[in-house]
Structure 1
Amino acid sequence: MVITHRSIRIGVMGTHSTGKTLLLRRIERELFARDITVARTGQLGRRAALVPLPKMMHHTADSTRWVIATGIADEVAAAARPVGDTSVQVVLADRACWDAIGYFRAAQEWSGRTTHRTEREALHQLAAANPPYDLLLTTVLDPHLPVRRKHDYDPRYRQLVDHHTHALLREENLPHLRVTSDETSRQHAIDRAVELCLTETPV
């Protein structure tokens, strides 16, 4: 079966434990209620650890390359996968491809390591090769909100990821919607996603 339509792609990025996955799950539920077929990608960090590859503060150029490439491949596969007699209309990417570069840059600053310019440029080129998202959501860190006890995160690294993520978006001039921890902001993001999908998905 050859899929010829173009799926709507919605990506989310931001530092860890800022509600990225929960946000996409809420969007997925809203779309499902409107009979829009959805595929969601994710768990890249967990899968990288199983390879095994370094993650979080220990990210390297190689692990970052793997995350970007695997995330892009997941999005392509999700869009191509038939759902019964229909096709996937919307792909929700949990960790848009640019997200890995924010984590990598934060790891470099956190550890004091440096990577050759050609390596950094190659990572940017790889992420830029992915077509732009129809909607890119970016969570904003609220350092005052508690993190679940099961997560032993380094608070400085978490803040560095937030800083580098938003700096990267400005540098690359990537259109995006900032999503704070406020419920009004999150509902606005969900409404924007639903409105986009209702308008743009093929009938």
Structure 2
Amino acid sequence: MDMTALLQGLDLVGTFAFGLSGATLAVRHRLDLVGVLALAVAAALAGGMIRDALLGATPAAALTDGRLLLTALGAGLAGFFFHRALNRLRKPVLVLDALGLGLFAVTGCRRALDHGLDPLPSLILGVLTAVGGGAVRDVLVAEVPRVLREEIYALAALVGGLVLVAGLRLGLPEPAVALAAVAAAFVLRIVSVLRGWSAPRPPGT
């Protein structure tokens, strides 16, 4: 399997998933079409743009690869017109957000590694890619970003990145490692919400 094609595919799927999560949240807050598209684009692309700026990879991929912006806008339109169908799913924003989290944690970490960064800063940029868009999305509707709440969020992205780095260090097939890393982050995020797990809080609070 061509790893470049796989990463591009994961990036597009993650863009669509996060775009839908932004659009769904915008509809929940009764925003108009412009607001829905704005939240979709912010959720889908902000994390990657911040990552690329820190890597010095300018213009950012979201501005040079038209497919990413079109995918984000397509997700926004899908959320605008089909939000009733999406809302029939149980916690649609959670599922879409968890999927985007895993996908972007992997593609963000791999992009940082490709730029020659060591594993630790690559993991940090992978987490930033995964949580950045969701944080911007939440701030735009005056919600506390999920990454700052008690739920396991950034930690799930970190686990996905760790699976990727460990698998690459062990010389395992990269496509399988990438998919396993996405699955690890997604499953941890979903299970943590269903089980009520949370990140540690300061003692006495």
TM-score higher than 0.5 here?
Answer: no
More helix by share: 2
**TM-score normalized by the length of structure 1:** 0.37
